[in-house]
Chains A and B, each alone.
Chain A
Amino acid sequence: MPKVVISGSSCRDFTHGETEFEVAATTFRRLIHELEARFPGLGVHVEEYMAIAIDGVIFQDAYAAQLKSGSEIVLIPKIGAG
Chain B
Amino acid sequence: MTFIGNKSDLRVVGTRPVRPDGVDKVTGRAVYGADAVLAGQIVGKVLRSPHAHARIVSIDTSKAMAIKGVRAVITAADLPNIPSEEAFVGEGPMNFRDLSLNCMARTKVLYEGHAVAAVAAMTDALADQALAAIDVKYEVLPHVIDVEEAMAPGAPILHDDLFTAGITPKPTTASNVAKKVRFTIGDVEAGFKAADVIIEQRYTTAPVHQAYIEPHACVAAWSADGQCTVIASSQGHFMIRSYCAKLLGIDVAAIRVVNAEIGGGFGGKTLVYLEPLALALSKKSGRPVKMVMTREEVFRATGPTSGAVVEVKIGATKDGKITAAQAVMKYQAGAFPGSPINPGLMCAFAMYDLANVDVLGYDVVSNRPKVAAYRAPGAPISSWAAECAIDDLALKLGMDPIDLRMKNAAKQGSKTVYGVTHGVIGYEEVLQAAKAHPHWSAPLGKNQGRGFATGFWFNIGGESTGAVFVNEDGTVNVVSGSPDIGGSRASMVMMAAEVLGISYNKCQAVIPDTSSVGFTHVTGGSRVTYATGMAVTQAAQAVVEDLKKRAAMIWDISPEAVEWKDGQAVPAGANAGGFDPLPLAAIALKAAKTGGPIGSEISVNAQGAGPGFGAHICDIEIDPETGHATIVRYTAVQDVGRAIHPSYVEGQIQGGAVQGIGWALNEEYVYNKKGLMDNAGFLDYRIPVASDLPMIEAVLVEVPNTRHPFGVRGVGEVPIVPPMAAVGNAIRGALDLRMFHLPMSPPRLRAAVDAAKMPKAAE
Q: Which residues of A does B touch, CB under 8 Å?
A: 5-10, 13, 48-49, 53, 55-62, 64-65, 72, 74-82
Contact = CB atoms under 8 A, between A and B. Distances in A.
Contact of A81 (B86, B90, B183, B184): B90
Given A8-B419, A81-B525, A82-B374, 20 more contacts: A7-B184, A7-B418, A48-B88, A53-B420, A55-B421, A56-B423, A60-B460, A60-B462, A62-B607, A76-B346, A76-B418, A77-B346, A79-B525, A80-B90, A80-B340, A80-B377, A81-B90, A81-B267, A81-B460, A82-B377
A80 B92 contact: yes
Nearest to A62: B607
B343 interface: yes
Contacts of B313: none
B420 A81 contact: no
Q: Which 3 A-B pairs have the closest CB atoms?
A: A81-B525, A82-B267, A80-B92
B752 to A, nearest CB: 31
A81 B608 contact: no
Q: Tell me which of A7, A48, A64 has the highest count of chain B C-beta atoms within 10 A of its own C-beta.
A: A7
Interface string B171-201: 0000000001111110000000000000000
Nearest to A76: B418
Contact of B420 (A64, A65, A76): A76
Nearest to A16: B168
B704 to A, nearest CB: 15
B91 interface: yes
Given A81-B522, A82-B717, A9 B182 contact: yes
A81 B373 contact: yes
28 contacts: A7-B183, A7-B184, A7-B418, A8-B182, A8-B183, A9-B166, A9-B182, A10-B165, A10-B166, A10-B181, A49-B88, A57-B423, A58-B458, A58-B609, A60-B460, A60-B605, A62-B607, A64-B605, A74-B419, A75-B419, A76-B420, A80-B90, A80-B343, A80-B373, A80-B460, A81-B526, A82-B267, A82-B377
A35 B184 CA distance: 21
B166 A13 contact: yes
A9 B180 contact: yes
B520 interface: no
Contacts of B88: 48-49, 78
B633 interface: no
B284 interface: no
A65 B527 CA distance: 20
A75 B183 CA distance: 11
Contacts of A9: 166, 180-183
B266 A7 contact: no
B75 interface: no
Interface in B446-481: 458, 460-462
Contacts of A80: 90-93, 340, 343, 373, 377, 460, 525
Contacts of A76: 346, 418-420
B373 A82 contact: yes
Nearest to B340: A80
Contacts of A13: 166, 168
Given A60-B460, A60-B607, A82 B375 contact: yes
B229 to A, nearest CB: 26
B282 interface: no
Counting chain A CB atoms within 10 Å of each CB, which of B342, B419, B423 scores highest? Answer: B419
Contacts of B166: 9-10, 13
B325 to A, nearest CB: 14
A57 B86 contact: no
B373 A74 contact: no
Contacts of B607: 57-62, 65
Given A59-B607, A82-B375, A5 B91 contact: no
A10 B346 CA distance: 14
A59 B420 CA distance: 11
B707 interface: yes
B525 A82 contact: yes
Interface string B510-529: 00000000000010111100
A8 B460 contact: no
A74 B420 contact: yes
Contacts of A65: 607
Nearest to B521: A81
A80 B458 CA distance: 10
B356 interface: no
A74 B423 CA distance: 14
A3 to B, nearest CB: 11
A82 B181 contact: no
Contacts of A82: 91, 266-267, 373-377, 524-526, 716-717
Interface string B79-116: 00000001110111100000000000000000000000
B274 interface: no
B419 A58 contact: no
B422 interface: yes
A35 to B, nearest CB: 15
B208 to A, nearest CB: 13
Interface in B364-414: 373-377
B338 to A, nearest CB: 9
B270 interface: yes
B168 A72 contact: no
Given A10-B166, A76-B420, A79-B458, A59 B608 contact: yes
Contacts of A49: 86, 88, 93
A75 B377 CA distance: 20
Contacts of A8: 181-183, 342, 418-419
Nearest to B425: A56
A58 B608 contact: yes
Contacts of A78: 88, 93
A20 B315 CA distance: 26
A56 B706 CA distance: 13
A60 B461 contact: yes
Contacts of A75: 419
B417 interface: yes
A63 B487 CA distance: 32
Given A8-B181, A9-B183, A81 B421 contact: no
A62 B461 CA distance: 12
A57 B608 contact: yes
Contacts of B707: 57
A65 B461 CA distance: 15
A56 B91 contact: no
A64 B266 CA distance: 31
